[in-house]
């Protein structure tokens, strides 16, 4: 694991569109996901930072405690959250460690347009059950695309990267798991884009947002 550490406030201030936020939990389900995929992390999301908006996190999860800022509703599945609130919930409610991995490539207006089209298309897509998630991932490893009625976190990031021109489309989105976005794996980005090393994010003690989130399932408990 990387040695660099930033506070949540500093990391949120530093993050830009396309940066990855990676999470590692310690529940039995989280560890099962990492064992099956041979990965050090079990969840991944992507930062969205546009104009004067606060930093947002684009990801998929089972919980519905936070407001989806795209639809203006609370729902499970693919969501666009306030980034600080989401990281606090994942840290304090779900017991996850967090890392920031920055995209070392400029994001153009055309890439932002692709991102927004993806959010409009995918927001609200349901999260699959554990069995369905495993089946989707296995099919992806065989280079077989899965139906679009469900999706999981790594698929959301992969599909968004593809729509932004950062990732090739020769592999289906269900080929990817959270560990594919960790630096220990080979992620071949397009157009000379690069991702930096992981930066450990130190999250302060439980906030009011995290405490009021209610008891929700974590990513690894579908």
Cα gap 164→46, rounded to integer Å: 12
Residue with tokens 């529940």: 27
Q: Which 3 state secondary structure label does DSSP give 140?
A: helix
User: 112 or 210: whose pLDDT is higher?
Assistant: 112
* Each residue's pLDDT tens digit, 10-63: 999 999 999 999 999 877 666 767 776 667 899 999 999 999 899 999 999 989
* Each residue's pLDDT tens digit, 61-90: 989 999 999 999 999 999 999 999 999 999
116: which residues sit within 8 A by CB, 6+ positions away? none
What integer pLDDT is reported at residue 146 of this predicted model? Answer: 65
* Each residue's pLDDT tens digit, 134-167: 666 566 665 767 665 688 999 999 999 999 999 9
What integer pLDDT is reported at residue 135 of this predicted model? Answer: 67
19-34: b (≥16 Cβ within 10 Å) or e: bbbbbbbebebbeebb
CATH superfamily of 5-203: endopeptidase domain like (from Nostoc punctiforme) (3.90.1720.10)
Please give the torsion angle defined by the CA atoms of residues 25, 30, 126 and 79, in that order, rounded to the nearest 10 degrees.
Answer: 10
Helices (H) and strands (E) in the chain, counts: 7, 7
Cα gap 1→4, rounded to integer Å: 9
Closest CA to 157 of 101, 89, 98, 87: 101
What DSSP string runs through 35-62?
HHHT-S-SEEEEEE--TTSPPEEEEEES
What integer pLDDT is reported at residue 190 of this predicted model? Answer: 95
Q: Which 3 state secondary structure label does DSSP give 108?
A: coil
Contact predicate 104/195, CB 8 Å: yes
Q: Is the pLDDT of residue 102 over 70?
A: yes
DSSP strand pairing (195-202 vs 77-82): unpaired
Q: Which 3 state secondary structure label does DSSP give 178?
A: helix
Cα gap 88→150, rounded to integer Å: 26
Cα gap 69→88, rounded to integer Å: 17
Sign of the dihedral defined by the CA atoms of residues 102, 156, 69, 193, in that order? positive
What integer pLDDT is reported at residue 39 of this predicted model? Answer: 77
Cα radius of gyration (the chain):
16
pLDDT confidence of 221, banded at 50, 70, 90? very low
What integer pLDDT is reported at residue 151 of this predicted model? Answer: 86
What integer pLDDT is reported at residue 145 of this predicted model? Answer: 73
What integer pLDDT is reported at residue 172 of this predicted model? Answer: 93
* Each residue's pLDDT tens digit, 192-217: 999 999 999 999 986 645 555 544 44
């Amino acid at each position: 694991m990387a040695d660099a550490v930033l506070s949540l406030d500093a990391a949120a201030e530093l993050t830009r569109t396309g940066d990855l936020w990676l999470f590692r939990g310690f529940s039995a389900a989280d560890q099962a996901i990492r064992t099956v995929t041979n990965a050090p992390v079990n969840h991944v999301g992507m930062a969205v930072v546009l104009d004067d908006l606060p930093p947002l996190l684009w990801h998929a999860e089972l919980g519905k405690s936070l407001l989806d800022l795209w639809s203006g509703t609370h729902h499970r599945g693919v969501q666009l959250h306030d980034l600080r609130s989401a990281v606090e919930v994942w840290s304090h409610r779900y017991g996850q460690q967090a890392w920031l991995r920055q995209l070392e490539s400029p994001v153009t207006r055309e890439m932002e347009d692709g991102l927004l089209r993806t959010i409009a298309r995918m927001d609200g897509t349901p999260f699959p059950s554990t069995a369905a998630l495993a089946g989707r991932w296995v099919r992806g490893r065989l280079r077989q695309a899965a139906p679009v009625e469900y999706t999981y976190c790594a698929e959301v990031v992969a599909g968004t990267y593809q729509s932004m021109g950062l990732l090739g489309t020769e592999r289906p989105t269900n080929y990817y798991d959270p560990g594919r976005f960790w630096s220990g794996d080979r992620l071949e980005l397009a157009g000379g884009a690069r991702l930096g090393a992981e930066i450990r994010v130190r999250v302060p003690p439980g906030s009011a947002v995290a405490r009021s989130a209610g008891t929700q399932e974590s990513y690894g408990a579908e």
